[in-house]
């Protein structure tokens, strides 16, 4: 049980539910895997048959803690590469285990949401200072919805990530690359984001980064919540 739960916890922590804040991520993963063990063990966890449920639940929590406790740079880089490829459509059939854990669908179904398997909303309002910077440059362009989703998503990734054209289209919720390019340009001129000059071989998308000023404003807003 320990081996299976630990491997599942690593996938959930570093890939599928990585966009969640750490405390919420730990709680959700522990909840999902605990329910999985208690309800779908198929008689293969002898301690449950012996009335040692508390011991089993405690082991699940330890597995989640161990999965999150990774500090080796090579491991972190490996998780990052897999996560970016998974998020940006780099896998023809991206694995999703959350739906399987809750019994909704098979793990082999295609990813329906470009950001997280749980389709967590990234439409939360931006700090007023960030909104003001965007509005000062946007003119009549209705960029705010796109900007809000992109900025919140980048913030959930530590302020920077490689994003494919496909993912940008899904953020904008329309297939208009000209409009997307215009919106990206507005955010650059507003001092909200910076981006790489070109697509690199082996990278699925350009690198987008939030500026230090925006990161500071977002962190201050989160602390005040």
Q: Same structural domain for residues 60 and 138? A: no
113 lies in some domain: no
In a domain, 112, yes or no: no
Could you report the per-residue pLDDT of 124-136, keeping only the tens digit for each?
889 999 999 999 9
pLDDT of residue 108: 37
Residue 44 inside a domain? The answer is yes
For the segment 64-120, what is each residue's pLDDT rounded down to a tens digit? 999 999 888 888 888 998 888 888 777 777 788 887 787 644 443 333 344 443 334
> Structurally, how many domains does the chain consist of?
2
Per-residue model confidence as pLDDT tens digits over 146-170: 999 899 888 877 788 778 777 787 7
What Rg do the C-alpha atoms of the chain give, in angstroms? 20
Report the CATH number at residue 199: 1.10.10.10
What residues make up the domain containing 168? 128-223
Q: How many angstroms separate the Cα of 153 from the Cα of each of 107, 115, 188, 209?
A: 24, 7, 16, 11
Asked if 69 and 15 count as a contact pair (C-beta separation under 8 A), the reply is no
pTM equals 0.50
- Please provide residue 24's backbone torsions phi and psi, each rounded to the nearest 5 degrees: -70, -35
């Amino acid at each position: 049980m320990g081996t299976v739960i630990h491997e599942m916890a690593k996938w959930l922590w570093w890939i599928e539910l990585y966009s969640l804040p750490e405390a919420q991520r730990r709680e959700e993963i522990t909840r999902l895997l605990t329910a999985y063990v208690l309800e779908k063990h198929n008689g293969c966890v002898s301690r449950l048959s012996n009335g040692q449920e508390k011991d089993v639940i405690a082991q699940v929590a330890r597995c989640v803690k161990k999965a999150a406790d990774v500090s080796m740079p090579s491991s972190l880089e490996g998780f990052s590469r897999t996560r970016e490829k998974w998020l940006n459509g780099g896998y023809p059939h991206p694995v999703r285990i959350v739906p399987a854990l809750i019994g909704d669908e098979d793990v082999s179904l295609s990813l329906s949401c470009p950001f997280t398997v749980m389709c967590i909303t990234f439409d939360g309002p931006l700090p007023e200072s960030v909104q003001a910077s965007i509005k000062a440059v946007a003119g009549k362009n209705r960029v705010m919805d796109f900007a809000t989703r992109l900025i919140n998503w980048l913030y959930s990734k530590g302020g920077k990530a490689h994003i494919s054209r496909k993912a940008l289209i899904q953020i904008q919720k329309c297939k208009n690359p000209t409009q997307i390019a215009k919106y990206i340009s507005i955010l650059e001129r507003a001092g909200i984001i910076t981006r790489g000059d070109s697509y690199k071989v082996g990278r699925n998308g350009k690198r987008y980064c939030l500026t230090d000023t925006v990161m500071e404003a977002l962190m201050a807003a989160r602390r005040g919540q």
